[in-house]
Structure 1
Amino acid sequence: MDLSPITAALASKLYDKVADICDNLMLQVAADGVAFQDDWPYAIHLLSHFYVHDINSARFLWKSIPSSIKETQPEVTAVWKIGQQLWLRNYSGVHEAIRGFEWSQELQGFVAAFSELYTKEMFQLLVNAYSTISVEDAALFLGMSEDDATSYVLQQGWTVDYASRMLTVKKQPVVTEQKLDPRKLQQLTEYVFHLEH
């Protein structure tokens, strides 16, 4: 079984493409009538679905993984723990699941990229949902110590009240569409009409 497309995508850090590559290879192998071997990269395949927010596909994949693999490959189970926390929306649990396993060399970069992506998404969630939030809660969402979380959000322009341990969220500027001046639209219409006739 040629897994080089998966290896190439990981080496190129094209993590958002890995799920499709794995799915297509799996379909190709199944269509060829080849039985899956123990060397199928189940941990990578599962994580790739979490990376692109396809938790349902990850759940179906998990159900199809032979129990012998789940029992003998702890990294597969460790990736699944990340998915369980995602499913439960246990934000701090996702970070704990990531930090709670010694990832293989093959998966370290992918897990780190997923962790970074997840932290950015949690930060954006905080920006959208809060105007103020406690340092403790921000740290839970971001999967960091309170000091690291404070430093992280201060770099993003937030402010902190050290006495109350509250953070004030800096809202992102709202991009508004530029309105077209009706007179300019009329001039443009007349110009095009003139060109056509």
Structure 2
Amino acid sequence: MMDFSQLKDALASRSFDLVAEICDELMLQVASRGINFQQEWPYAIHLLGHIYINDLNSARFLWKSIPDGIKESRQEVVAAWKIGQCLWNRDFAGVYRAISAFEWSQEALDLVNAFRESYTKRTFELLVSAYSTINVTDAALFLGMSEDDAINYAVQHGWRLDSAAGMLEVVKPKVISEQKLDSSKLQRLTEYVFHLEH
């Protein structure tokens, strides 16, 4: 009998970044004891844990190690890997389609939704760094949203809409840079303070 309490606690507390590591450790422990764990192993959660932290190499390795019988009998495992395949192929819209195409178990749903949220945020940050303007259709495709939702999301994040052109103007966040004191100014300041004191 395997003890999944640590995994259940991580899922319940929404500590999704720990899921893959917990599963990896538990799998090693169980395998080292020679226990046949494959039938009760939470493969979908394990895959989603690696996908959540964007560890696609580990997700691929895990997928390849899953017995064919499990892949054939558990649709959620295949659905989780479909997300991984889309990520691997940089199919932005496909990631969202793969998420939406499956009715996730209650156990996986929060993890999938949290991944979708973080993936949207990461994709949005990529758009900010890559574009100065982008048409609404492309933005919606990248963000896995309807055009109206993509416009609202972008505008909430400071972008401007040119509705006549159907374009979004990307507004880069202001970067607050630390002022650096060059050494010659520091030397002059030191000499000045020294002069005042003597």
SS at match of 1:33: coil
Number of the residue aligned with 1:31: 32
Number of the residue aligned with 2:142: 141
Percent identity over the alignment is: 60
TM-score (ref. length: structure 1): 0.92
Amino acid at match of 1:102: E
Deviations 1:94-113 (A, max 9, x none): 00000010000111100000
Q: In 1, Cα distance between the equivalents of 2:176 and 2:36?
A: 52
Number of the residue aligned with 2:109: 108
Equivalences for residues 3-82 of structure 1 within 5 A:
3-82=4-83
Amino acid at match of 2:19: V
Structure 1: gaps (5+ residues): 192-197
Number of the residue aligned with 1:118: 119
Q: In 2, Cα distance between the equivalents of 1:4 and 1:65?
A: 22
Structure 2: gaps (5+ residues): none
Q: In 2, Cα distance between the equivalents of 1:175 and 1:17?
A: 32
SS at match of 2:134: strand
SS at match of 2:181: coil
Deviation at 1:178, TM superposition (A): 2.2
Greater CA deviation, 35-44 or 175-184?
175-184
Backbone CA RMSD of aligned residues:
1.6
Deviation at 1:184, TM superposition (A): 4.3
Runs of at least 4 residues of structure 1 off by over 6 A?
A: none
**What is the number of equivalent residue pairs in this alignment?**
189
